[in-house]
Amino acid sequence: MTDPAQPDRSAGPAAGDADEFAHIPRARGRHPIIALGGALLAFFLVFHERRELRYAMLGGTPLDVGRATALNTAAADGLENRYVRVTGTPDRESALEIDTKGSWVFTQLFRVLGTGDRLFVHRPPSPLPAAMAESDVFEGRLIRVDDLSFATGIRKYFAATVSATHFFAPAAFSAALAGRPPGGTLAVSDLSGDPVTLAPSSLVVVDVVEPDQVRLGLPKARFATDGEARAAITSRGGEIVTALGEIKGRAATSAPEAGPLSSTAEPPVRWTFVARFPAAARQAALDAIGNLDHDVEIRDARQPVQLRVEEISPLASGGLVLRPGEGPAREVPAAAVAAVHTVEPVVIPPDAYLLVEGDRPRQHLPTVLITAILVMFGAVNLVGLGRDLRR
């Protein structure tokens, strides 16, 4: 018995044959706009994270910039978003302690001296490793302050509330005064190399050394009363010019070596005076007072004079002419000017950098994986969009 002949369907359905799947509705694909939107969103996120991706692809060895003053040169333009090592002196006087609301995690933010306020360091939370805390070498990611989301706010905060003390070399300050135009601003660099611009009304303190006077500190542990300390000076030919009272100062002796049982000694409290001695007996009297106790302090007597910039004029010899208010002018020779200093707000310039210490490229490796996933997602959407458009 043989099977009935079957029609040859290799050439397709015969005329009159019906498609048995024609009644099944075809599933609707995604709208092309959805596929296009998904692809655009993925590629936008990749573009938005391009800086993170570029930093994650860097090596694990930091670029040694050297001294932080190198950031003042044009070569610093190529260091943005790089893993660098910088050596510099932090300004701990104007440093900030930053905490995140809701957490007891504190970080430090401070400027580096000698950079013209162009370099700030964001230090990781305490406690710091001993090697990091003891050295002035910073390693991390270098970014521009303008790239921070809170750049405007931090600039306003520093300018309004954070100040730094600038010390000037007396000779450099006198030379800058000589070159200042009448009524103009004074541009001078401080001892750290930071440029400072002072208005005519800016306040400056000039520490003047009184050559015939000396500042003496006698420890309270040895001299119980002010009268006993005063008598120790006057009995040796000294004349008390000013009594400054009790002042806690640094210890005169050297600190003990560090060890498991070592401790920091409490600074001694001293009865402090400014005294004058006859020139012939001055050195012998000071030697005798210094031998009374190892915590006796003998220093030059300095008189701080606060003036506005417009009240100071230069001397040809490098000294200064002081005209405080309506008082008489006083010529101070260069040898008698112990220090010149002022306090000015910290202004963050537009081209300032922030070094995020401890931020290493390997910490951003997840960004590479996320970027790869986003690229694949965008590519799949584009391929699907192409197939839909060809149908």
- Domain assignment present for residue 359? The answer is no
- What's the whole-number mean pLDDT along residues 27-46? 79
Which domain covers residue 42, as residue numbers? 32-57+367-390
Is 320 exposed, middle or buried, given 0-12, 13-18 or 19+ CB atoms closer than 10 A? Answer: buried
- Domain assignment present for residue 52? The answer is yes
Residues 292-338 have pLDDT tens digits of 999 999 998 998 999 999 999 998 888 999 998 777 888 999 889 99
Kindly tell me if the per-residue pLDDT of 189 is higher than 90. Answer: yes
- Domain assignment present for residue 314? The answer is no
- Domain assignment present for residue 284? The answer is no
Answer with the residue of higher pLDDT: 214 or 128: 214
- Domain assignment present for residue 303? The answer is no
Helix (H), strand (E) counts: the chain: 8, 18
Give dist(CA 157, CA 79) in Å, integer: 26
pLDDT at 262: 45
First CA to last CA distance, the chain: 48
Number of domains in the chain: 1
**Residue 237 per-residue DSSP state:** T
Residues 93-145 have pLDDT tens digits of 888 888 776 667 788 889 999 888 899 999 877 666 777 777 888 999 999 99
- Domain assignment present for residue 182? The answer is no
Give dist(CA 343, CA 205) in Å, integer: 9
- Domain assignment present for residue 280? The answer is no
- Domain assignment present for residue 16? The answer is no
